[in-house]
Amino acid sequence: MNLDQKHSGKLFILSGPSGAGKGTICKRLLEETELELSISMTTRAPREGEIHGQHYYFVDEEEFVKRIEADGFLEHAQVYGRRYGTPKEPVIEKLEKGIDVILEIDIQGALKVKENYPDGVFVFILPPSMSELRKRLTGRGTETAEAIEMRLGETLKELSFIEKYDYCVVNGELEEAVARVKSIVVAEHSRVTMTAEELVRRYKEDE
């Protein structure tokens, strides 16, 4: 008798404020676990070195709109005139094969995914403090002081959505944060997913 509850995959959604480190955590998880990445679809042109089906699914506007009309996305948005979205079919196919999938996305996108796939496991990545977040954003050297202040203000607003999530992980020390997310993956596969009646039936069948 097989009582392993890992018969179907789970979708893990990592999101949080800009600068919280969700991208770095996601990269480590892909390197160190069997989690597979959810690949986004976009209407923008590939950049040098980007491969279709590996970095993004690159499609034209017509194809993207067709998928919207066919309810083919877990979420989608338009950014600076280009469309981006999380295709539903590839994710569902992997989950049905028992493969765990990880999706790194901003908070607004995560909330849209929750509407379309409430069975996902939603993990909010937090910076250890606002001062540390300011230090990280400044250290990037890619934004003006004004833009950084705007991002910090947005972070305070985004914290109000934490109750929509299943877990939160503070990314102070990267190793600890990665270990905590790994623990969440293990815990989710130990979650009770069958009724008492089904469990009793399985044991009786094994007599």
Query: How far is CA 44 from its chain centroid?
Result: 21
4: amino acid identity, one letter: D
The encoded tokens of residue 11 equal 């979708």
Measured between alpha carbons, how far is 110 from 117 in angstroms, rounded to an integer?
10
Q: Tens of pLDDT along 147-186?
A: 889 889 989 999 999 999 999 999 999 999 999 999 999 9
Regarding predicted confidence, which is higher, 191 or 184? 184
Question: Helices 22-32 and 174-188 sit at what angle, rounded to 10 degrees?
Answer: 60
The per-residue pLDDT for 204 is 84
Residues 46-74 have a mean pLDDT of 95
The encoded tokens of residue 16 equal 């949080």
92: amino acid identity, one letter: I
Regarding predicted confidence, which is higher, 194 or 173? 173
The per-residue pLDDT for 7 is 61
Helix (H, G, I), strand (E, B) or coil at 173: coil
- Given a cut of 50, whether residue 52 has pLDDT beyond it is yes
Beta strands in 16-105 (DSSP E): 36-37, 41-42, 57-58, 73-79, 82-87, 101-104
The per-residue pLDDT for 187 is 95
pLDDT band at residue 2, thresholds of 50, 70 and 90?
Answer: low
Q: Which of 44-53, 84-93, 191-200 has the lowest mean pLDDT?
A: 191-200
Measured between alpha carbons, how far is 200 from 122 in angstroms, rounded to an integer?
31
The per-residue pLDDT for 116 is 95
Q: Tens of pLDDT along 19-45?
A: 899 999 999 999 999 999 999 999 999
Helix (H, G, I), strand (E, B) or coil at 52: strand
Query: How far is CA 10 from its chain centroid?
Result: 11
164: amino acid identity, one letter: K
Q: Tens of pLDDT along 101-141?
A: 999 999 999 999 999 999 999 999 999 999 998 998 888 88
Pairing mode of beta strands 36-37, 73-79 = unpaired
Measured between alpha carbons, how far is 194 from 135 in angstroms, rounded to an integer?
46
Regarding predicted confidence, which is higher, 18 or 186? 186
Beta strands in the chain (DSSP E): 11-15, 36-37, 41-42, 57-58, 73-79, 82-87, 101-104, 121-126, 167-170
The encoded tokens of residue 196 equal 């008492």
- Given a cut of 60, whether residue 4 has pLDDT beyond it is no
Measured between alpha carbons, how far is 160 from 132 in angstroms, rounded to an integer?
19
Q: Which of 184, 7, 10, 1 is nearest to 102 (CA)?
A: 10
The per-residue pLDDT for 1 is 47
